[in-house]
Amino acid sequence: MSERPLVSADRASKSFRAARGLTAREGIFHAVRDVSLDIERGETLGLVGESGSGKTTLGRLVLGLLRPTSGTVRFDGSDLAALDRRSLRALRRRMQIVFQDSAGSLDPRIRVGRAVGEPLEVHRLAAGSGIEDRVRGLFAEVGLDAALMAKYPHELSGGQRQRVGLARALALEPEFVVLDEPVSALDVSVQAQVLNLLADLRERYGLTYLFIAHDLAVVRHLATRVAVMYGGTIVEHGMGEQLFAHPRHPYTASLLASVPVPDPRAPRPAVVLPPERSDAPTAGCPFAPRCPHPTKDARCRREAPVLRQLAPRSWAACHYAHDG
């Protein structure tokens, strides 16, 4: 692709000083290690992983909400860490985030209509009745009745609040939206409504999504490309269809096999991973202690595998993943 990616992480790492008690000993917690990743315009990159995999931290890094400890994150070519406050603010208009529970990001004392209009006020993009007209339009875009503009967050259902969160994110007409577990708190019937809406909005506005989720079914549904995280690193990425049908990294395969499908005749999982160990390895492959791959050997414990290309648009960080 000749066009430069909208978002580009180059060997980005983020570590935190872990407080005593959290990990039983004081030390440095490496939330994201050496991640390189491009997000092309118009694509939806699904970022999957279990708790502690680093997916939420990576989401914060690409929005410039966290500064990488090392490496760089660029948005449309600009290094986020090198920008002054003003330029960063201008850039932030073009990227937005939607959280798992919009109730947490909406002020309980502010009517949701005003909350949606607030970014327009802050960035002086509209004033007076112009704001209200725009908010009315945004409510329609996300399938909310305009009468709900006068409600407080607690008066709405979970699905309605998630739509408000989306309307607020769309107010500044962003190009890039990070969706951090946007449907995890919703019931299946409402989740389907919001997923359909996300697909519609993507099409209507040509949005680029980074879709962070632990639910693989939801990711398969919305993502065009998928990256799998484990222990702060990306262990595999590839086109959605291909990755779900032919996972190349043993962790991806185990993760997929773990998901129970709504079919009583589905076979029991061939592999159930052993419990995660609290003492993550400091050298070698982060997945080695739990890895079910038959070829696992001393090399896995010694030498950290790097992402290598195994097929067109398919990459995995495993010494023994097959090519082709």
Partner 1 sequence: MTPLLRVRDLHATFVDDDGTTRAVDGVSFDLAEGEALGIVGESGAGKSVLALSLLRLIEPPGRIAPGSVVEYRGTDLLRLPEAELRRVRGAEIGMVFQDPGASLNPVLRVGEQIAETLRAHRSIRARDARRRSVELLDLVGVPDPERRAGAYPHELSGGLQQRAAIAMALSCDPKLLIADEPTTALDVTVQAQILELLLDLRERLGTALLLISHDLGVVARLAPRIAVMYGGQIVEQAAAADLFERPRHPYTAALLGAAPRWDRTAGRLAAIPGAVPPATRWPTGCRFRPRCAQAWDRCEQHPPLLDAGAGHDVRCWLAAPERGTP
Taking contact as CB under 8 A, which single stretch among the options 63-71, 254-262, 293-301, 312-320 is the one that binds partner 1? Answer: 254-262
Residue with tokens 């890895």: 291
How many angstroms separate the CA atoms of 125 and 208, rounded? Answer: 22
Question: Is 258 among the residues that bind partner 1 (CB under 8 A)?
Answer: yes
Q: How far is CA 49 from CA 54, 186, 212, 216, in A?
A: 8, 19, 8, 9
Which positions ≥6 away from 179 have C-beta within 8 Å?
97, 98, 198, 209, 210, 211, 212, 213
How many angstroms separate the CA atoms of 68 and 81, rounded? Answer: 8
Question: Is 205 among the residues that bind partner 1 (CB under 8 A)?
Answer: no
Options 191, 208, 233, 314; binder of partner 1; rule CB under 8 A: 191
- 324 by Cβ neighbours in 10 Å (0-12 / 13-18 / 19+) ranks as exposed
Please name the amino acid found at residue 165.
G
Per the DSSP assignment, residues forming a β-bridge with 272 are none
Question: Is 103 among the residues that bind partner 1 (CB under 8 A)?
Answer: no
Minimal distance, residue 254 CB to partner 1, in Å: 6
Which positions ≥6 away from 258 have C-beta within 8 Å?
269, 272, 273
Question: Is 190 among the residues that bind partner 1 (CB under 8 A)?
Answer: yes
Interface size with partner 1, residues (CB under 8 A): 44
Options 10, 38, 40, 50; binder of partner 1; rule CB under 8 A: 50
Options 91, 172, 256, 311; binder of partner 1; rule CB under 8 A: 256
Minimal distance, residue 207 CB to partner 1, in Å: 17
| Whether the Cβ atoms of residue 169 and residue 92 lie closer than 8 Å to each other | no
Task: Kindly identify the residues of this chain, within the stretch 4-33, that bind partner 1 according to CB under 8 A.
Answer: none
Q: Which is nearer to partner 1, 58 or 243 (CB)?
A: 243
Which positions ≥6 away from 181 have C-beta within 8 Å?
99, 100, 212, 213, 214
Tell me the per-residue interface mask from 273 to 292 with partner 1, x by CB under 8 A, - otherwise: xxxx-x--------------
Question: Is 187 among the residues that bind partner 1 (CB under 8 A)?
Answer: yes
Question: Is 262 among the residues that bind partner 1 (CB under 8 A)?
Answer: yes
Per the DSSP assignment, residues forming a β-bridge with 72 are 10
Options 3, 20, 51, 298; binder of partner 1; rule CB under 8 A: 51
Q: Which is nearer to partner 1, 42 or 158 (CB)?
A: 158
Question: Is 259 among the residues that bind partner 1 (CB under 8 A)?
Answer: yes
Rounded to 5 degrees, φ, ψ at 35 are: -95, 125
Taking contact as CB under 8 A, which single stretch among the options 10-18, 75-83, 255-263, 303-311 is the one that binds partner 1? Answer: 255-263
Cβ neighbour number for residue 245 with a 10 Å cutoff: 9
How many angstroms separate the CA atoms of 228 and 45, rounded? Answer: 10
Question: Is 309 among the residues that bind partner 1 (CB under 8 A)?
Answer: no
Taking contact as CB under 8 A, which single stretch among the options 81-89, 103-111, 270-278, 301-309 is the one that binds partner 1? Answer: 270-278
Options 152, 205, 244, 320; binder of partner 1; rule CB under 8 A: 244
User: By the criterion CB under 8 A, which residues form the site for partner 1?
Assistant: 50-51, 157, 159, 187-193, 195-196, 199, 214, 216-221, 241, 244, 254-266, 268-269, 272-276, 278
